[in-house]
Amino acid sequence: MQDATDSVGLTGRSVGNSYRLVKPIGQGATGTVWQGVDSATEEPVAVKLLHESLLRQPRLVTRFVQERTILLMLRHRNVVRVRDLFSVGETLGLVMDLVAGGSLRDHLERVRTMPPAEAARLAAQVADALAEAHELGIIHRDLKPDNILLLEQDGRLETRLTDFGIARILNVPSMTTPNAVVGTPHYMAPEAFHGVTPSPATDVYALGVLLYELVSGQPPYLSDSVPELMRLHAEGRPHRRRGIPDELWRVIRSCLHAKPRQRPAATALVRDLRLLARKLSGVPALPPPPPPRLPPADPDDMAVDPPELRQGIRMPGRHAVPPPRNAVPGHRWLRSSAVLAGVLLATATVVWRGGGEPRVQPQVAALPSGSQHVATRVASPSPSPARTRKKAASKRTSRPHRTRSPEPEVYGPWECAQGFVIDLSTRSPLVPRPCHSVGRDVRFQASLTAPAGGTADIEVTLRDVDTGRTVAGPTTCAGLTFTRGAMTKECGPAGAAPRRGRSYTVVMAYRYERDGQSSSNTARGRIFTW
């Protein structure tokens, strides 16, 4: 996926005062991160360029600039240092120290679990960075392994906390969209799900989840349903894996307390975690946990929509459809429209193996150009010998008739942007998902996952990133009704053949109404070049 800020044309270009772009190394919600070089000193740097498509949104530009302000205020060894802010063409750039060791998420995917002493030592560094941020009135709001970078010094890992893009300065009016909650559900404190003003205790809760994951290999709550996660976080009963030391478990439980006032301050955690890092030296890491057991798919559910929020949020260590470069989910729902789910059910082959549970094997499905109908190839059972002889005789007596089956159109996988918002006016967790698929032309659609009892209107368009012009659409779907059996509603797909060699994005506008309250919002898909 490419944007004007990560195209090949920028490679080798000088930006700002003296920074030369080498190659893109990451992409986030607001910008693309490049590896660069400070031409004046030849030092490696990281350059974060704001997506050009977002420059027309003043709130996001302000948030991007705010990230620099926050990071300039934080001069802590475990926080990524900001060097400069500059403008390049019609975009903004943020220059930071380059931390080349990857993220803590990358490290966890390799080692799966960490020895308790090492987990406590790294968590103490993060707590120390948070303690200084809290003293300045700043909270991170999205603490997770993805936002902790690593580097090796003297043979030991060191942490660098980054991505304060959604942090809030407590004495400054919030930049967040009204009636919206931001964060990653698996790391969110119970109060964060209800839009309560974030506090330092919010970060401490996320640190407790992080510490649990470092020693256990997975977060304490693994549901991929947002309502279920809300319930589990509120109940506050994480499972203790056998082998977690008592002292470490007491620290984890104190951080994961459902009541914010009962959680320790970050400064107290620094002291306790450093003590544990010394005391637990030599205790081995726990074995990696078994993969989470997900309930088998119910064919009755497949005929309507996937279970609630099945694709709505990102599972830690895994990724919702579409998968990134380094992860392939083991449990995936394949959908292109509500029609597709029903057709796959009708054409599925049930295979029995040794008295076990039946396994459903959907057959090949293709989307013909210009049509929303699904062409499928159905596997038939082997005919009996008698039936074969009868068909052969029929062929000899019948007039030959040959037909050529049309070749199915070939499209790439659906590329979808995952959104998660808790709307406070309707008190509803909403998951908008604008998607695109590329083949002979461009197909685009959107879906909204919302609680039962509500209705929604959805409008989907395809836009040119550089000009902001709508090149296809709108496709509109009005009066969509959400029920317990159908909590995801789709709009599309539609097709378009825009100019090649340009960058595009799918824009989804939606209005959700429930119990007499309504909310409106937009969501943008991933930027791609066709």
CB contact set of 488 (below 8 Å; sequence gap of 6+): 305, 306, 308, 309, 310, 311, 447, 448, 449
Angle between helices 200-216 and 116-135 (to 10 degrees): 170
417 closest CA partner among 288, 529, 526: 526
Q: What is the DSSP string of 398-465?
A: SPP----PPPPP---PPEE----EEETTTTEEEEEEEEEEESSSEEEEEEEE--TT-EEEEEEEEEET
According to CATH, the topology of domain 104-279 is Transferase(Phosphotransferase); domain 1 (1.10.510)
pLDDT digits (tens, 9 = 90+) for 140-156: 988 999 999 999 988 89
182 and 59 in contact (C-beta within 8 Å)? no
CB contact set of 51 (below 8 Å; sequence gap of 6+): 3, 4, 5, 30, 31, 32, 91, 527
CB contact set of 135 (below 8 Å; sequence gap of 6+): none
> What are residue 438's phi and psi, to 5 degrees?
-115, 135
**For residue 436, what are the β-bridge partners?**
415, 444
pLDDT digits (tens, 9 = 90+) for 74-129: 889 999 988 888 876 667 888 989 998 889 999 999 999 999 999 999 999 999 99
Q: Which pLDDT belongs to residue 60? A: 67
In the chain, CATH 1.10.510.10 sits at: 104-279
DSSP letter at 258 equals S
In the chain, CATH 3.30.200.20 sits at: 8-97
494 and 444 in contact (C-beta within 8 Å)? yes
In the chain, CATH 2.60.40.1930 sits at: 415-529
The dihedral sign for the CA sequence 208, 210, 215, 221: positive
- From CA 317, how far away is CA 324, in angstroms rounded? 11
Q: Which pLDDT belongs to residue 305? A: 33
- From CA 69, how far away is CA 138, in angstroms rounded? 11
> How many CB atoms lie under 10 A from the CB of residue 230?
20
Mean pLDDT per 10-residue run, the chain (530 residues)?
A: 51 85 80 89 90 70 74 87 78 86 92 97 98 91 92 93 71 54 83 84 97 96 83 93 96 96 96 97 94 47 33 38 33 30 29 32 32 34 47 47 51 79 70 90 91 91 86 92 88 92 90 86 85
Q: Which pLDDT belongs to residue 74? A: 84
Q: Which pLDDT belongs to residue 317? A: 42
The amino acid at residue 145 is P
- From CA 257, how far away is CA 199, in angstroms rounded? 14
What's the Rg (C-alpha) of the chain? 26
Annotated catalytic sites, by residue? Answer: 142
CB contact set of 476 (below 8 Å; sequence gap of 6+): 457, 458, 459, 460, 491
> How many CB atoms lie under 10 A from the CB of residue 357?
8
454 and 512 in contact (C-beta within 8 Å)? yes
* Tokens 């063409």 found at: 89
- From CA 515, how far away is CA 29, in angstroms rounded? 32
DSSP letter at 141 equals S
Angle between helices 116-135 and 266-279 (to 10 degrees): 160
pTM of the model: 0.60
Q: What is the DSSP string of 87-136?
A: EETTEEEEEEE--TT-BHHHHHHHHSS--HHHHHHHHHHHHHHHHHHHHT
Structure tokens at 10: 């920028």
Q: Which pLDDT belongs to residue 403? A: 47
- From CA 105, how far away is CA 36, in angstroms rounded? 23
Q: Which pLDDT belongs to residue 233? A: 94
H or E segment to which residue 503 belongs: strand 503-514
391 is in an annotated binding site: no
Query: In terms of CATH architecture, what is 415-529?
Result: Sandwich (2.60)
Query: In terms of CATH architecture, what is 8-97?
Result: 2-Layer Sandwich (3.30)
- The C-alpha angle with vertex 411 and arms to 440 and 475, in degrees rounded to 5, equals 80
Bridging pattern class, strands 138-139 and 148-153: unpaired
